[in-house]
Chains A and B, each alone.
Chain A
Amino acid sequence: MKIRTWKRMVRQGFLNVFRNRIMSLASISAIAAALFVLGLVMAVVMNINNIVSSLESKVEITVFLKDNTSKADIDNIEQQINSWDGISECQFISKHQALNKWREEWGDKKYLLDGYHESNNPLPDSFQITAIKPEFVEGIVEKANSIQAVEKVQYSKDVVDSITSIASTTRIFGLSIVGILIAMAMVIINNTIRLSVYSRRREINIMKYIGATDWYIRWPFLMEGMLLGLFGAVLSSGLVAAVYSLLEKRMGGPSIENNLLSLFQLLPLDAILYQIAVLFILIGSIVGTIASLLSMRKHLQV
């Protein structure tokens, strides 16, 4: 087709969307809702992946000791640890130091910890171990676990495992919702195109007599479906950006949450928005086009 014909098709597509505006709005909302949920799932999963990869590069291991471990045993264990391969640093943190550190971390909310004293300190003695490289972490954990006086060994893999499972649950659950929403959006777009074809049936009839090719008749409706998808994609990208930046703001600023979540630093909006928007535009226009094609197959006999 010639360029001016393409222009005409695009213009006609826009015109169809506008003429059919109530149904268009329904279609755009439906596709936007589906993509919005997809965007949230993607944002969560991308953030989790980011946390996982930063955790996996962490080399810290905390070894908690059983209560009432003697000073001699502690020294002995420290010597033992320092003899292992891959140890960069091994620091003893007494339960007293741990409590002080906790108070420090809680800043102006430390009064909440006023009930804890030397006598009822719930924190254990521990060693804070830093490995030279992440590859040494597993071996160190294994050896530490075999020491009698060790209560528990904590390292990044535990956290990684649990958040990886959160990510996969989110992905499965979220994507099935997205699938259902996209199917609904397709039904609505399908109907919108059907109405559009119906309202232009006279024109289509005349076009056929004059000798319009099938695709000349079809293109405006394909454009219409694609445009509905595109508008939905733009709308949902905007929504995701708005919600995400709100979340970003909430997580900034000094607060307890901030401190706890400092580990889970949110990815900046522009790092995820670009990917999400591109994907939305792709999915939106493909879904719209397919819905339109299906509708035409049924309702546009050319």
Chain B
Amino acid sequence: MIQFINVTKEYENGLRALNNVNLIVERGEFVFIVGASGAGKSTLIKLLLKEIEPTAGALFVNDRDLTQMKPKEIPFYRRSMGVVFQDFRLLPDKTVFENVAFAMEIVEASRKEIRRQVPAVLSMVGLASKANNYPSQLSGGEQQRAALARALVNNPSILLADEPTGNLDSATASEIMKILNMINHRGTTVLMATHARDIVDSMKKRVITFHKGTIVSDKEKGEYFFED
């Protein structure tokens, strides 16, 4: 499903964010990507979103070589992934419903599909009652649920989550983790970058640890592992 082969990413300022990374994530896995800031987590996510190009190596997602992808194909590739961020990135002048519907409009879904799909995904993340609220009227946890709904509404095969609980207290964070777990059980591959030790330890999922751009540990049902 996701395969990194000798991937190196060096930024223009000479910073080597990923160094010769080899990694395979199978369909339906739930994987934590952990490490301190600057370990290469965000670079990994950006590479998967094809926001940036690897300096060396090959990168396959759903059997497609990302380094060979034409610019025109990128939007259609991105439709196969959902993504959520630490800062939610909801549009403040749209309601929750509109924020989620927005993702469907972009892929030119019909109004009928939108009316059917948006409430379904909102109730899946437990936000059906807040459909007509604006983001500013929601708590942080609710905003992240709305962002999750938006990421999931087009049925992506992969969900990328970049520090999704970074702005949330631990009780709210565990609510979000329950939803991510549920999504994973429905067949979506979940890749979550985080440095929240308690979450990682409690989930008993695969944990891949990065340090200074290289993988230092990759364990099934692992715990937060970090060596300086």
Contact = CB atoms under 8 A, between A and B. Distances in A.
Contact of A209 (B49, B105, B110, B111): B49
B107 interface: yes
A36 B49 CA distance: 49
Contact of A214 (B75, B83, B102, B150): B75
Interface string B95-139: 000000011011110110000000000000000000000000000
B78 interface: yes
Give chain A's interface secondary structure class. helix
B91 interface: yes
A214 B70 CA distance: 13
B78 A209 contact: yes
A8 interface: yes
A151 B103 CA distance: 87
Nearest to B89: A206
Contact of A211 (B76, B89, B111): B76
B103 A210 contact: yes
A216 interface: yes
Contacts of A2: 108
B118 to A, nearest CB: 14
A106 to B, nearest CB: 71
A209 B83 contact: yes
Contacts of A213: 72, 75-76
A79 B16 CA distance: 107
Interface residues of A, number: 18
Nearest to B79: A211
B28 to A, nearest CB: 22
B89 A202 contact: yes
Residue with the greatest number of chain B CB neighbours at <10 A, chosen from A207, A211, A212, A216: A211
Nearest to A207: B106
Interface in A178-210: 202-203, 205-210
A209 B51 CA distance: 9
Contacts of B49: 209
B99 to A, nearest CB: 9
Nearest to A19: B93
B114 to A, nearest CB: 10
17 contacts: A4-B108, A205-B89, A206-B91, A206-B102, A208-B75, A208-B78, A209-B49, A209-B89, A210-B78, A210-B102, A210-B106, A210-B107, A210-B150, A211-B75, A211-B76, A213-B75, A214-B75
Interface of A: 1-2, 4-5, 8, 202-203, 205-214, 216
